[in-house]
Amino acid sequence: MSNCGKYSEKARTKYFIKQKIKETFKKEKAEPIPSFPFTTFLGEEIKGPESYQEVRGLLAGDYQNYLEERWVARLRAASKVEINQEVLKTVNKH
């Protein structure tokens, strides 16, 4: 995201949540299986979840992963990791 500094954290979070909801409830077409030409769909078609509680866990997990990715990216950008090879050679010797 090159425009991250342009928007507040709240605005980016709101955008992220909207995108995840769109991805979660995207209607995809079923691909027929040539070896089994019959397809059955059970249940009723709905536009979206009846309440936010149905997707709250998925959304929270996705948002947590998003925050962690951003956090790790910031850490990697802020500092360089140097490994002392002499110490590394002695660590795994049992």
- pLDDT, tens digit, 9 for 90 and up, residues 39-72: 566 677 778 778 878 888 988 999 999 999 999 9
What does pTM read for this prediction? 0.41
Q: Give 2's pLDDT tier (boundaries 50, 70, 90).
A: very low
Q: Going by C-beta distance under 8 Å and a sequence separation of 6 or more, which residues neighbour residue 48?
A: 21, 25
Q: How far from chain centre, in Å, is Cα 17? A: 10
Whether the Cβ atoms of residue 60 and residue 91 lie closer than 8 Å to each other: no
CA distance 13 to 43: 33
Backbone angles phi, psi at 2, to 5 degrees: -85, -20
Six token digits for residue 33: 């299986």
**pLDDT value at position 71?**
95
